[in-house]
Amino acid sequence: MMCSPLALAACASGARPPAIVAPPVVTADAEPEGIYKVGKPYQIEGIWYYPAEDYAYVQEGIASWYGSDFHGKRTANGERYNMDDITAAHPTLPMPSVVKVTNLDNGRTLKVTVNDRGPFHSKRIIDVSKKAAQLLGFYEAGTAHVRVEIDPEESMNLKNIALKKNPGEMPQIAAAPRATVSAMNLDPVPGAVNVPVRVVQPVALPPPAPPPPRATANTAQVPTKPKFQAPEKPSATPSGLYVQAGAFSEEANARKLEQRLGELGQVHIVPTTVNKKKLYRVRLGPVVDANTASALLGKVKSFGYNDAKVVRE
């Protein structure tokens, strides 16, 4: 085997020569399907996250990936997650936006569309799709050390496209307040003819009628009819009914679903052990009755969680 001068040292040591051709840059799709969303600050496991439009965002940290547990389910901005698309979840960047992810372990670079929230882990900064993890070369390892950089031009382009379709998060401009103007507060106009103002005198009202005489001992007392009071409605009390949206073997996946379903009501993560295996159940409730539970179950299933069910404790 012949060695070139550039790889002579590598051949001598048996190490792999450095790559000469840079890996290709794969660009994410440019047409968003969901709505444009930034969102309000939220708290997961005692940690506050503050979503914002940060078009100068650059950060290094750990990337992970997520796949079949969320395939076909709604993302945080309303799209359907497809683990074979080139997408990602980020805790704070606007959705959709485009970021360039560089795997610092192997030099591969990939542009992905952020359309979801996560990962909720102190040392991880981005959660990419299964396809993106394969292209970046860390599908088997599960995690990688990466650098994430937002692409301002492509991100703003996606924002404009999404807002044109659904202007739900466009800022609302409030009308200016109208002050009440009184003629008494205006200065006289120079050279204007003073027009006498007719003063209207207030009309005197007749004095109020005297109160009826108080009843004396000789006056017959007329029993007064007691006021009718409507019976108070019994307050709604929890019935022990919950809607279980799913159960996961990894807590991070349960946290992701908790954040997605937060708009539907109070969400709980209930750890349990089944056949010596740790599971994290994601539940909404408690709800007051079976009708409410059924309606909530329908909403959860509309997010793509067809295995959701009503449980009682």
Please tell me the distance from the alpha carbon of residue 100 to that of residue 152, in angstroms, as a whole number. Answer: 11
User: Is there a contact between 133 and 119 (Cβ–Cβ < 8 Å)?
Assistant: no
Residue 127 belongs to what domain range? 20-168
Distance of CA 196 to the CA centre of its chain: 64
Q: Which long-range contacts (CB under 8 A, 24 or more apart) does 288-295 make?
A: 288/236, 288/237, 288/238, 288/239, 288/241, 289/239, 289/241, 290/239, 290/241, 292/241, 293/239, 293/241, 293/242, 293/243
Helices (H), the chain: 8-13, 130-136, 152-165, 251-260, 290-302
> What is the number of domains present in the chain?
2
**If you ran DSSP here, which 8-state letter would residue 217 be given?**
T
pLDDT of residue 46: 82
| Shared domain check, 261 and 164 | no
> How far is the C-alpha of 25 from the C-alpha of 18, rounded, in Å?
18
Look at residue 272 and tell me if it is in a domain: yes
In a domain, 111, yes or no: yes
Is 152 inside a domain boundary?
Answer: yes
* pLDDT on residue 202: 58
Dihedral pair phi/psi, residue 225, rounded to 5°:
-75, 125
298 and 163, same domain (yes or no): no
Q: Clarify whether residues 161 and 260 are in a common domain.
A: no
Would residue 297 count as lying in a domain? yes
Residue 6: predicted pLDDT: 42
The per-residue pLDDT for range 241-293, each reduced to its tens digit, is 899 988 888 888 888 888 778 777 888 889 999 888 888 999 988 888 888 88
Q: Per the confidence metrics, is the pTM higher than 0.75?
A: no
